[in-house]
Amino acid sequence: MNFYTTGEVSKKLSISIRTLRYYDEIGLVVPSKKEDNGKRLYNDNDVFLLEKIILLKAASISLHDIKQIINHITIFETLTIHKEQLENHLKQLQQSLNYTNTLLNILKLEEELEWKELIPLFTKEKTELNKKEKIIKFIFNKEEQRLLNEKLPKLENDPKDITKWIHLIKRIEYCLEEQKAPHSRDAQLIAEEILLLSSETFNGEKELEEKFWEVRKSEKISSSLNLYPIRKEIIDFLEEAILIFEKEKH
């Protein structure tokens, strides 16, 4: 049987010596051997018990409850708790990644962010996600939701996934700044590219495409669905350019 000092256990499990002493005081993990000089020595079973406690504590179980269940909890139950803990951690990381991508894409569009916009990276609440899901379910059926989820470029996507759309929006903004008309050559090239991208995105599902663009006209709903922001004047310019393009095409 191997024995380890308090310092060795502390280093092995990344747990403070003060915590080990506290666990001893409350009878949670009592070292198997104590020498006359007060030196604590932990054996392999003690270390394993400490590992279980660390795992349960990371799952937000109180020390009082851990003390009650530690000798009764099975390996299966311990692994289940660990699995839930990892899943929650992954979910939090994904939400953080999604919001970081959102900020990167907004930065591409607006070229500027304020520090206050970074705060939700750490404080964003689940209610926003729930609100988004309710809106999607209300507007689109299950098959449409699946297609949108798979194909639609959103702010939380990796920046490279929506670069084409962002560049097109920027080109429309330049047209507006330079007072170019929707029938201008530049505007008509943009209209053609938008139609091609839309066809790729919606797999030729014209009904879904039309329903989506109707939703897209609302800045409020677009924001709720976490889509990249498009101002009304851009939408209006684009619609007129597309109408002209399709009329001349036919």
Domain over 3-73 is classified CATH 1.10.1660.10: yes
Read off the pLDDT of each residue in 55-65 and give the average, rounded to a whole number. Answer: 82
Q: What pTM did the predictor assign?
A: 0.44
Highest mean pLDDT among 127-131, 143-147, 200-204: 200-204
Spatial strand order of the sheet with 3-5 comes to 3-5, 40-43, 33-34
Mean pLDDT of the chain: 78
Task: Tell me phi and psi for residue 5, to 5 degrees.
Answer: -75, 170
Domain residue spans in the chain?
3-73, 91-249
Q: Which pLDDT tens digit goes with each residue over 196-244?
A: 888 877 777 777 777 777 777 777 677 666 666 678 898 899 999 999 9
Residues contacting 69, CB < 8 A, separation 6+: 56, 61
Give CA angle at 136 (207, 197), nearest 5°. 45
Q: Which pLDDT tens digit goes with each residue over 23-32?
A: 999 999 999 9
